[in-house]
Amino acid sequence: MVRGWPGIRTLRLAVVATNRDVAEPFWLALGYRPVGDPVPYRYADLETTAQRYELPLG
């Protein structure tokens, strides 16, 4: 569906390190690849890092 939207060339998401063991294999299997370095991520009492992933559409 998204492939038909004009101007959308890349899908992006972030995976937090505390969920990486489960989430990363799923997104990699769909073709997403890590981009850049992990960045600090904080939510409530959670302090971890987040890795950005991208999937080029084309």
Asked, for residue 57, whether it belongs to a domain, the answer is no
In tens, the pLDDT along 10-52 reads: 999 999 999 999 999 999 999 999 999 999 999 999 999 999 9
Q: How many domains does the chain have?
A: 1
pTM: predicted TM-score of the whole model, two decimal places: 0.86
Domain that includes residue 21, residue range: 14-51
The Cα–Cα gap between 4 and 7 comes to 9
Give the number of residues written for the chain: 58
In a domain, 36, yes or no: yes
Between 50 and 58, name the one with better pLDDT. 50
Is residue 37 a part of any domain in this protein? yes
Question: Does the residue 1 lie in any domain?
Answer: no
Residue 11 and residue 35 in contact, taking contact as beta carbons nearer than 8 Å? no
* Alpha carbon distance 6, 43 (integer Å): 33
Domain-located, residue 8: no
Task: Identify whether the C-beta of residue 1 lies closer than 8 Å to the C-beta of residue 11.
Answer: no
